[in-house]
Amino acid sequence: MTQALNEELLKGNTCFGCGPDNPDGLRIRIFRDPANASRLVGTWRTRDTLAGFPQIVHGGLQFTALDCLAGWVMFVLRQPGRMMPLTKNAATQFLKPARLGLEFSLSAEVVREASSPRDSYAIRGELRDPEGLLLTQVDFDYVLVPQTMFMKAVGLDRMPDTYRRHFGDAVSASKDEG
């Protein structure tokens, strides 16, 4: 089995969406799309504790899985350097119920580049059932925030080691930290 990007690049990651080391999280797995270099794909196996209505995956968790994948699109495919990609806004369409107990396919890709550093990227995320039926679609606007501004806003003196280890100085406040 191929190792997922999030398992390889961010060892120790406890993100609720993509953290393989978060036993309570969604534990989505993220891969490069072999058929389309401008898209990432993923898999997500749901469990009974993720229900909204009976037998239906909670809509907020569907959104979370796709938002996490969209963030990875920015990190891996746009490599923002000393900038942190953040969700600015999103529009979600729930087209069909996502049933519990299935393994869903996820995909996300940039559908519009930012025209300037202050503008947002448009990313489309999709959740499909095992037969390929589109169940949920989210159109995201992602912005890039300077790392120092991000750290100040969330009260960090330094980025977590999981991020620093993968992104190196691009995501650390300075080489001398630590």
pTM score: 0.89
Residue 35 lies in domain: 5-169
pLDDT tens digit sequence for 84-121:
899 999 999 999 999 999 999 999 999 999 999 889 99
Q: Residue 69 belongs to what H/E stretch?
A: helix 59-72
**Residue 175 belongs to some domain of the structure:** no
As a whole number of angstroms, the distance between CA 129 and CA 103 comes to: 7
**Residue 156 belongs to some domain of the structure:** yes
Does residue 153 register a pLDDT over 50?
A: yes
**Residue 80 belongs to some domain of the structure:** yes
As a whole number of angstroms, the distance between CA 23 and CA 55 comes to: 21
**Residue 176 belongs to some domain of the structure:** no
How many other β-carbons are positioned within 10 Å of the β-carbon of residue 62?
26
Percent of the chain with pLDDT over 70: 91
Tokens of 94: 């729930």
Does residue 173 register a pLDDT over 60?
A: no
As a whole number of angstroms, the distance between CA 56 and CA 142 comes to: 28
pLDDT attached to residue 27? 94
pLDDT attached to residue 2? 84
CATH (domain of 26):
3.10.129.10
Number of domains in the chain: 1
pLDDT attached to residue 133? 98
Task: Identify each DSSP E strand in 65-167 by its residue range.
Answer: 83-94, 103-112, 121-128, 134-146
**Residue 107 belongs to some domain of the structure:** yes
As a whole number of angstroms, the distance between CA 30 and CA 66 comes to: 11
pLDDT tens digit sequence for 13-39:
889 999 988 999 999 999 999 999 999
pLDDT tens digit sequence for 40-94:
999 999 999 999 999 999 999 999 999 999 999 998 998 777 788 999 999 999 9
